[in-house]
Amino acid sequence: MVVVTLEECVVFARDGFRWFCSTKSRPVSVAVILVFGAIKLHIYLSKRSRRKKWATAGRDVVVLHGFPRERFSPGTSPYVLKLETYLRLAKIPYVMDFTEPLGPKGLSPWITLNGEEFADSQLVIEHLGRQYNKDFSSGLTEVQRAVARTFNIMACEHLAWGLRFWRYSVDCCRGLIQSTSQVSLFLRLALFFLRWKVLKALWIQGTGRHTQKEVEHMVRQDLAAISHYLGEKPFLMGMEPCEVDCTMFGFLTQIMYNYPGSPYITMLIDDFPNLQMYQFRLRDLLWPDWNECLNPPK
């Protein structure tokens, strides 16, 4: 095995830099600087022209940036679906943008509203709720609000890791690729890097250190909690849908449509059928155009 010391790396970098700055390599250095400059300028100009276009969406119209529509559901990200479902529930006018899915925090979704950018599905929902004076949880008691928040966090910060574990580690993105309508070489490359990043995140967060059986058990517990609390009610907190239902819709939709062959879809079918009915109910209510939102549309 070849072992490279830190000292050798420093020497290599220093010599390389000296060569780059020397007169002998001037044509190469100039070419490299010009190419990088041209790429940076191109990125800057495209970003600026996209923002100009979004500004024409109209006053108080939300531009929702996310990943493209896919074959079996309107998207493969639970968070984008959560936010889009909320916009529909709140009847806030919006347009979708798929050209720049990653926002100022490097994640999807994010929105542009009247020229301002906001990121993170939860923070965006809270901001829009204040701006458009929509609070679907206002009829809930303090205790019910606490329960709704707990379920919301459980889905976004716990269940989500269990789902990522299956998608990126166990399934190696096969189900995700099946759900994707255009599998280009670029997409495969992007998925390769995303997978590497998510596996690292899974390890740091801790879920990646468990066995597959242990993670499955955790997901089952989460789904059981949602199923039992939902019971026979039409929506999680009662007779009317509220913000937390949008989150549940985002996650249940992923399991039902974009996790083929996973133990989670089997759990929904065999053990928690009320969760499937709940997803259908929300879908009928808020996504009457579901089929047109698939890619290709049905």
Ligand X SMILES: N[C@@H](CCC(=O)N[C@@H](CS)C(=O)NCC(=O)O)C(=O)O
Chain residues in the site for ligand X (CB under 6 A): 77, 79, 107-109, 120-122, 156, 194, 197
Measured from the CB atom, is 18 or 188 closer to ligand X? 188
For residue 292, the minimal CB distance to ligand X (Å) is: 23
The Cα 298–Cα 284 span in angstroms is 16
For residue 120, the minimal CB distance to ligand X (Å) is: 4
For residue 122, the minimal CB distance to ligand X (Å) is: 5
For residue 83, the minimal CB distance to ligand X (Å) is: 7
Q: What is the DSSP string of 37-89?
A: HHHHHHHHHHHHHHHHHHHTT-TT-EEEE-PPP-SSSS-S-HHHHHHHHHHHH
Measured from the CB atom, is 106 or 231 closer to ligand X? 106
Judged by phi (left if over 0) then psi (alpha if -120 to 50, else beta), residue 32 lies in alpha
For residue 158, the minimal CB distance to ligand X (Å) is: 13
Helices (H), 206-259: 212-230, 243-258
The Cα 256–Cα 244 span in angstroms is 18
For residue 134, the minimal CB distance to ligand X (Å) is: 18
Instruction: State whether the Cα torsion 107-236-62-75 is positive or negative.
Output: positive
Measured from the CB atom, is 87 or 156 closer to ligand X? 156
CA angle 234, 81, 257 (to 5 degrees): 80
Measured from the CB atom, is 65 or 88 closer to ligand X? 65
Residues 89 and 82 sit within 8 Å (Cβ to Cβ): no
CA angle 188, 190, 195 (to 5 degrees): 90
